[in-house]
Amino acid sequence: MKIKIKKALCVLFAIILVCAGLSACGKSPYYAKITYSDGSSETLDKKDIKELRRLHSENEYAYDEKYSRNKIEAVDRIESISGQGRSGAKISTYSWTFFLDDDNPIIVDLREGTLVKFYGELAEKTTGLPLVFVDTIEIIEEK
Protein backbone atom coordinates (compact mmCIF):
# COMPACT_ATOMS: atom_id res chain seq x y z
CA MET A 1 0.00 0.00 0.00
CA LYS A 2 2.80 2.44 0.95
CA ILE A 3 4.64 1.64 -2.30
CA LYS A 4 1.54 2.49 -4.37
CA ILE A 5 1.14 5.82 -2.55
CA LYS A 6 4.83 6.64 -3.08
CA LYS A 7 4.53 5.79 -6.79
CA ALA A 8 1.38 7.89 -7.09
CA LEU A 9 3.10 10.84 -5.38
CA CYS A 10 6.14 10.47 -7.66
CA VAL A 11 3.90 10.44 -10.75
CA LEU A 12 1.98 13.48 -9.47
CA PHE A 13 5.24 15.32 -8.76
CA ALA A 14 6.53 14.48 -12.27
CA ILE A 15 3.31 15.79 -13.83
CA ILE A 16 3.60 19.04 -11.86
CA LEU A 17 7.22 19.48 -13.00
CA VAL A 18 6.32 18.86 -16.64
CA CYS A 19 3.41 21.31 -16.50
CA ALA A 20 5.56 23.96 -14.82
CA GLY A 21 8.24 23.47 -17.45
CA LEU A 22 5.78 23.76 -20.31
CA SER A 23 4.27 26.98 -18.99
CA ALA A 24 7.73 28.45 -18.41
CA CYS A 25 8.64 27.66 -22.01
CA GLY A 26 5.58 29.38 -23.46
CA LYS A 27 5.97 30.75 -26.97
CA SER A 28 6.75 34.41 -27.39
CA PRO A 29 3.83 36.46 -28.71
CA TYR A 30 6.16 38.47 -30.96
CA TYR A 31 6.30 37.52 -34.62
CA ALA A 32 6.17 38.94 -38.12
CA LYS A 33 4.64 37.30 -41.17
CA ILE A 34 6.02 38.63 -44.44
CA THR A 35 3.97 38.01 -47.59
CA TYR A 36 6.10 38.43 -50.69
CA SER A 37 4.94 39.77 -54.06
CA ASP A 38 4.94 36.25 -55.53
CA GLY A 39 2.36 35.18 -52.92
CA SER A 40 4.71 33.12 -50.77
CA SER A 41 5.04 33.97 -47.10
CA GLU A 42 7.47 33.53 -44.25
CA THR A 43 6.81 33.74 -40.52
CA LEU A 44 9.65 35.26 -38.52
CA ASP A 45 10.15 34.58 -34.82
CA LYS A 46 12.09 36.85 -32.48
CA LYS A 47 15.47 35.47 -33.65
CA ASP A 48 14.55 35.90 -37.34
CA ILE A 49 13.38 39.47 -36.69
CA LYS A 50 16.79 40.24 -35.17
CA GLU A 51 18.38 38.93 -38.38
CA LEU A 52 16.07 41.16 -40.46
CA ARG A 53 17.06 44.16 -38.33
CA ARG A 54 20.75 43.28 -38.71
CA LEU A 55 20.36 43.14 -42.48
CA HIS A 56 18.44 46.44 -42.34
CA SER A 57 21.36 48.14 -40.60
CA GLU A 58 24.19 46.49 -42.53
CA ASN A 59 23.10 46.30 -46.18
CA GLU A 60 20.49 48.65 -47.61
CA TYR A 61 20.45 46.94 -51.01
CA ALA A 62 20.00 43.40 -49.70
CA TYR A 63 17.26 44.55 -47.29
CA ASP A 64 15.36 46.44 -50.00
CA GLU A 65 15.68 43.52 -52.43
CA LYS A 66 14.28 40.99 -49.97
CA TYR A 67 11.80 42.93 -47.83
CA SER A 68 10.74 46.38 -49.06
CA ARG A 69 7.26 46.75 -50.61
CA ASN A 70 6.16 43.38 -49.19
CA LYS A 71 3.16 42.96 -46.91
CA ILE A 72 3.67 42.44 -43.20
CA GLU A 73 1.54 41.27 -40.30
CA ALA A 74 3.33 41.65 -36.97
CA VAL A 75 2.81 41.51 -33.22
CA ASP A 76 5.05 43.61 -30.98
CA ARG A 77 4.99 45.86 -27.90
CA ILE A 78 4.92 49.65 -28.10
CA GLU A 79 8.25 51.07 -26.92
CA SER A 80 7.60 54.78 -27.48
CA ILE A 81 5.04 57.22 -28.84
CA SER A 82 6.05 60.69 -29.94
CA GLY A 83 4.14 63.47 -31.65
CA GLN A 84 5.17 64.62 -35.10
CA GLY A 85 3.36 67.96 -35.08
CA ARG A 86 0.31 68.03 -37.32
CA SER A 87 1.39 64.96 -39.23
CA GLY A 88 0.52 62.47 -36.49
CA ALA A 89 2.34 60.18 -34.11
CA LYS A 90 5.54 58.23 -34.55
CA ILE A 91 5.15 54.81 -32.93
CA SER A 92 8.16 52.64 -32.19
CA THR A 93 7.87 49.04 -31.11
CA TYR A 94 10.88 46.98 -30.13
CA SER A 95 11.45 46.00 -33.79
CA TRP A 96 9.50 48.41 -36.02
CA THR A 97 8.59 52.07 -36.57
CA PHE A 98 5.37 53.41 -38.06
CA PHE A 99 3.34 56.60 -38.18
CA LEU A 100 -0.35 57.12 -37.42
CA ASP A 101 -2.38 60.16 -38.46
CA ASP A 102 -3.62 62.49 -35.71
CA ASP A 103 -7.22 61.56 -36.50
CA ASN A 104 -6.64 57.82 -36.00
CA PRO A 105 -8.85 56.99 -32.98
CA ILE A 106 -6.56 54.24 -31.65
CA ILE A 107 -3.77 56.70 -30.76
CA VAL A 108 -5.46 57.72 -27.49
CA ASP A 109 -5.53 54.07 -26.35
CA LEU A 110 -1.88 53.27 -27.06
CA ARG A 111 0.62 53.27 -24.20
CA GLU A 112 4.20 52.15 -23.81
CA GLY A 113 4.14 48.39 -23.25
CA THR A 114 0.85 47.83 -25.12
CA LEU A 115 0.92 44.67 -27.23
CA VAL A 116 -0.34 45.46 -30.74
CA LYS A 117 -0.94 43.62 -33.99
CA PHE A 118 -0.54 45.59 -37.18
CA TYR A 119 -0.79 45.03 -40.91
CA GLY A 120 0.92 47.06 -43.59
CA GLU A 121 3.77 47.27 -46.07
CA LEU A 122 7.49 47.39 -45.40
CA ALA A 123 9.13 50.57 -46.65
CA GLU A 124 12.53 50.84 -48.26
CA LYS A 125 15.44 51.04 -45.83
CA THR A 126 15.49 54.09 -43.58
CA THR A 127 17.61 55.09 -40.62
CA GLY A 128 16.60 53.54 -37.32
CA LEU A 129 14.21 50.59 -37.11
CA PRO A 130 12.53 49.14 -40.22
CA LEU A 131 9.62 51.38 -41.27
CA VAL A 132 6.13 49.98 -41.88
CA PHE A 133 3.31 51.79 -43.71
CA VAL A 134 0.51 50.59 -41.43
CA ASP A 135 -2.96 49.93 -42.87
CA THR A 136 -4.56 48.46 -39.74
CA ILE A 137 -3.59 48.27 -36.08
CA GLU A 138 -5.35 46.56 -33.19
CA ILE A 139 -4.63 46.32 -29.48
CA ILE A 140 -4.07 42.79 -28.23
CA GLU A 141 -3.15 43.53 -24.61
CA GLU A 142 -3.03 46.80 -22.72
CA LYS A 143 -0.30 47.27 -20.17
Question: What would the DSSP string read from start to end of 28-50?
Answer: PS-EEEEE-TTS-EEEE-HHHHH
* pLDDT at position 23 over 50: no
- The closest alpha carbon to 118, from 72, 66, 78, belongs to 72
Task: Provide the pLDDT confidence category of residue 20 given band limits of 50, 70 and 90.
Answer: very low
Q: List, in order of start, the domains of the chain with CATH numbers.
A: 27-141 (2.40.50.140)
Q: Are the C-beta atoms of 121 and 133 separated by less than 8 Å?
A: yes
Q: What is the pLDDT of residues 26-57, one digit of tens each?
A: 567 899 999 999 999 999 999 999 999 999 99
Of residues 108 and 97, more confidently modeled: 97
**Taking a C-beta distance cutoff of 8 angstroms, is the pair 87, 123 a contact?**
no
- Position 133 scores a pLDDT of 92
DSSP 2-19: HHHHHHHHHHHHHHHHHH
Q: Computed from CA positions of residues 111, 84, 56, 74, in that sequence, does the dihedral angle turn out positive or negative?
A: positive
Residue 2 has pLDDT above 70, yes or no: no
Percentage of the chain beyond pLDDT 70 is 79
Helix (H) or strand (E) holding 58: helix 46-58
Indicate the burial class of 70 (C-beta count within 10 angstroms; 0-12, 13-18, 19 or more): middle
Q: Give the separation between CA 17 and CA 25, rounded to whole angstroms.
A: 12
- Total-model pTM: 0.74
